Amino acid sequence: MRDYWDAQADNARMVTATTPRIILASFNAVGDFLKDAEEAGIVLDVGPGCGTMVKRLENVCTVEVVDISSKVLAKIDLPEDRKHLNKDLPKERYSLAFSHLVFQHIPEPMDFLFMVYNALKPNGIFYMQFNANMNMKKKEKILKAERGEMVYTTCEVSDMFMNCGFVDIETKYDENRLWGYIKARKQNDR
């Protein structure tokens, strides 16, 4: 997967499919994202693409980014110490993390969730958008997965978050876009 995203790093359209307005609308479906970001201080953008949200959040909080691709990170206009590769992501540093248009590309979702979970401080919050379909048959999902696109129901994603240790899980399903949104909190004692 790293090679794929390295190759996409020069393709701004591929790594930025959405505007800040759409991303904020996604997260505000399950919470008050900008208020949480302001209170958090340092916020982690997981899979930033070309950094759309980095610019949008400039006056709200301090943003750091984590990505699987060093080529994607190289394109983002932030000081080097605010850009992290997955393997170097600091532990228990962030009160808030968010991720948009990333989860559908992840073949090992639990590894990804544990990475974010470990980066959060106790009580830290994670907002995530994911590709959802409440009616898709298992067979169709497998075919999609074989083509590299993971699709879930909100229950499936909630279960994964719960198994990771997240609590206070809220989800919302947008049946027009076939997107799901989730907000969850890391437990205080894990």
Name the residues that contact ligand SAM, by CB under 6 A: 1, 5, 15-18, 23, 46-49, 52, 67-69, 72, 86, 100-102, 105-106, 112
Could you count the other beta carbons within 10 Å of the beta carbon of residue 133?
A: 17
The token pair that represents 151 in the structure block: 């699709």
CB closer to ligand SAM out of 148 and 167: 148
| DSSP per residue, 126-159 | EEEEEEB-SS--HHHHHHHHHTT---B-HHHHHH
**Nearest-approach distance from CB 189 to ligand SAM, in angstroms:** 27
**Nearest-approach distance from CB 71 to ligand SAM, in angstroms:** 8
CA 81 to CA 123: how far, in whole Å? Answer: 24
Show Cβ contacts of residue 52 under 8 Å, excluding neighbours closer than 6 positions.
16, 18, 19, 20, 23
CB closer to ligand SAM out of 4 and 167: 4
CB closer to ligand SAM out of 19 and 123: 19
| Secondary element (H or E) of residue 60 | none
CB closer to ligand SAM out of 87 and 139: 87
